[in-house]
Structure 1
Amino acid sequence: MSLSPVALAGRRIALAGAAALTATLALAAPASAHAEVEADTPQALAENVTLRFVSEAESGTAGFTELRIVLPEGIAPGDVTLGEAPEGWRLTATGDGYRLAGPALKAGVDAEHSIKVRQLPDAKEIAFKTVETYSDGEVSRWIELPTAGAESEQPAPVLKLKAAAAGAEPESASPSPAESTPPTPTAAGSESADDGGDPTAAQEDQNGSTGVTVAVVLAAAAVLVAGTWWLLRRRNSSPSQG
C-alpha cells in the first residue's frame, strides 16, 4: 500500500522528531545524576540547622566510597556534627570542610547523609562543593558555582536561604581543626613539652646538660695530663736505675 506524498512527509517528520528526542535524552542522561542539599530551616542565621545531602549514583558497576564536602564561608568545620550516614561511614573534619567515607555502597545506590550546623551564615544562598569517589576510583566533581545567565554542567549543591529573622545575630566562629587540636610534640621538642611548654625551663635543662659535659671533658683532660707526666717521669728515671 503506497502512501500519499503528504503522508510520507508526515511520517518523515514524525521519525525525525523521535530521533531528535532520543538524541536529546541520550545527551541529557549523563547530567541527570547530581548532588543536592536541603535544610529543615533554610533561613540566614538560623541555628542548629539540619542539612540533608543526596549524591545520586552515576555508575552501574561501582558504588560510592567517599564524599568530600567544602563548606561555604561562614560555616567552620568545627560547627558541623554528623547526623545520619551510610552504615560504617565516618566523618573527618578537614581544613575547609569534611570528608565522609566508609565501606563501598552497592552500585546504583545514592549516597545520603545529614549534618547539623551550629548556625547558617547571613547570605541569600550558599554552595557546598562536593567531590564523589567510587569504588573503582572514578571521581565525580560537583563544584561549579552558579553564574548569571549560564547553566553549569556539574553544579555544586546550592541552598537558597530566606532573610534572617528580626534580631538574629551571628555567633562567634568555632575554632578550626588546626586551632582546636594541640600540636603533636616532636622528638626535638619533647623536653619543652614535658616542661609545660616553658622555654626557660627547657633552656635551664640544656645549660645543666652542657655544664655536666664540660666537667667530664675537663676531668678526662686532667687524667690524660697526669698519665703523660707519669710516663715521662718513668722514662727519665729508667737509665739511673740501670
Structure 2
Amino acid sequence: MRSITSRRLAVSAVLATSVVLASAVPAFAHVTVQPGTAAQGGYTAIAFRVPDESDTASTTKLEVNLPTDHPVASVATQPLPGWTVAAEKTKLAAPIKTDDGDEITEAVTKITWTADAGTKIAPGQFQEFRVSLGPLPTDTDKVVFKALQTYDDGNVVRWIDESAAGQPEPAHPAPVLTLTKAASEGAADGHQMTATAQAAPAASTSSSDSTARTLGIVGIVVGVIGTALGVLGLRRRSGSQS
C-alpha cells in the first residue's frame, strides 16, 4: 500500500512539473519584431528576429512585407555581412504628407534578405535583420509585417496569420510592432529614434525578469520532484526493513 502511495506521489510531481514548465517557458521560435513597441508618429529602429525551426534545413531567405494601408515614408536597412538586401517600392494610392509639406507618392512595401553563398541560419541558430523606419502611423495601434521564411530544402514558412483578441495564438503569427501614444505633442523628433532608446531597455528588463521567473519556477519544480523522490526512497527502505 505504501509503495502504491509513493508511486502516486512521484507521478503527481512529474505531472505538476510538466504543467508548470509548459506554462512558464514561452515560445521563442516565431519570427518577431524586437523591440516589440514604439511610439506613434516617431522614428525607430527594429530588428526582425528569425530563428531556424528545422532540424535538418537552414534558412537562406527572409521576405518582409510592409503594410500598404499604413505606409511608412522612410525605410532604411542596416547592412548585414553575408546577406544581400533588396527593397521594393510601390506607388501609393494616397500620397503621404511629410512635416516639411512634401508629398511621398511611393513607399517601401517589401524587403528581401537573401543569403550569400556559404551563409545561412543553421538549425538551432537565429539571425536579426535590422531596419530603421518612420514616421510611424498615428491612426493605428499596431503595424503588422507579414514575413516569408525560406529554407534551403525548398520549404517556405509563411508568418502571415494575424492574432485575434480572445483567441489562441495562430500557428504562424505575423510579426507585430505595437504602437503606443507619444508622451506629449511634439515629443517625437523626426530625426531622433527616441522610441528605440526607451523601448530597448524595457525589452531587456522584461527579458531578464522573464528569465528570472522561469529559473525560479524550475527551481521550485526540481525541489518538488526531489522531495517526492526522497519520500519514495524512505518508504521503500521502511518497507524493506519491516
Sort the TM-score into its range (normalised by shorter chain). Answer: 0.5 to 0.7
What is the deviation of 1:57?
Answer: 1.2
1:15 to 11, 25, 37: 11
Cα 1:106–1:44 change in 2 (3 A) is closer
Question: Bigger radius of gyration, 1 or 2?
Answer: 1
Q: Tell whether 2:68 aligns with 1:50.
A: no
What CA distance in whole angstroms lies between the structure 2 residues aligned with 1:131 and 1:25? Answer: 30
TM alignment of 1:197-212, pairs within 5 A? none
Contact 1:86–1:112 (Cα < 8 Å) also in 2: no
Cα 1:79–1:21 change in 2 (3 A) is same
Q: Which has the higher helix share?
A: 1
Q: Which has the higher strand share?
A: 2
The aligned residue for residue 119 of structure 1 is 135
What CA distance in whole angstroms lies between the structure 2 residues aligned with 1:139 and 1:114? Answer: 21
Q: Tell whether 2:176 aligns with 1:158.
A: yes
Give TM-score, length-normalised by structure 2.
0.56
What CA distance in whole angstroms lies between the structure 2 residues aligned with 1:135 and 1:106? Answer: 10
- How many residue pairs match? The answer is 164
Contact 1:86–1:111 (Cα < 8 Å) also in 2: no
The aligned residue for residue 85 of structure 1 is 80
- Look up the equivalent residue of 2:32 and give its one-letter code: E
Contact 2:42–2:135 (Cα < 8 Å) also in 1: yes
What CA distance in whole angstroms lies between the structure 2 residues aligned with 1:156 and 1:36? Answer: 8
- Look up the equivalent residue of 1:45 and give its one-letter code: G
Cα 1:125–1:118 change in 2 (3 A) is closer
Percent identical residues: 30
Q: Give unpaired runs (5+ residues) of structure 1.
A: 172-242
- Is the deviation greater in 79-88 or in 157-166? 79-88
Pairwise CA RMSD = 3.5
Cα-to-partner distance string for 1:77-96 (whole Å, 9 max, x where unaligned): x6311114352322232553
What CA distance in whole angstroms lies between the structure 1 residues aligned with 2:83 and 2:159? Answer: 24
The aligned residue for residue 202 of structure 1 is none
Higher relative contact order (CA 8 A, sep 6+): 2
Q: Tell whether 2:122 aligns with 1:107.
A: yes
Contact 1:130–1:156 (Cα < 8 Å) also in 2: yes
The DSSP-based 3-state class of the residue aligned with 2:38 is coil
The aligned residue for residue 65 of structure 2 is 70
The DSSP-based 3-state class of the residue aligned with 2:4 is helix
What CA distance in whole angstroms lies between the structure 2 residues aligned with 1:160 and 1:25? Answer: 28
What CA distance in whole angstroms lies between the structure 2 residues aligned with 1:91 and 1:40? Answer: 24
What CA distance in whole angstroms lies between the structure 2 residues aligned with 1:140 and 1:157? Answer: 13
What CA distance in whole angstroms lies between the structure 2 residues aligned with 1:146 and 1:20? Answer: 29
Q: Give unpaired runs (5+ residues) of structure 2.
A: 91-108, 191-242
Cα 1:41–1:11 change in 2 (3 A) is closer
What CA distance in whole angstroms lies between the structure 2 residues aligned with 1:22 and 1:9? Answer: 20
What CA distance in whole angstroms lies between the structure 1 residues aligned with 2:157 and 2:85? Answer: 20
The DSSP-based 3-state class of the residue aligned with 1:89 is strand
Cα-to-partner distance string for 1:169-194 (whole Å, 9 max, x where unaligned): 9x9xxxxxxxxxxxxxxxxxxxxxxx
The DSSP-based 3-state class of the residue aligned with 1:42 is strand
What is the deviation of 1:118?
Answer: 2.9
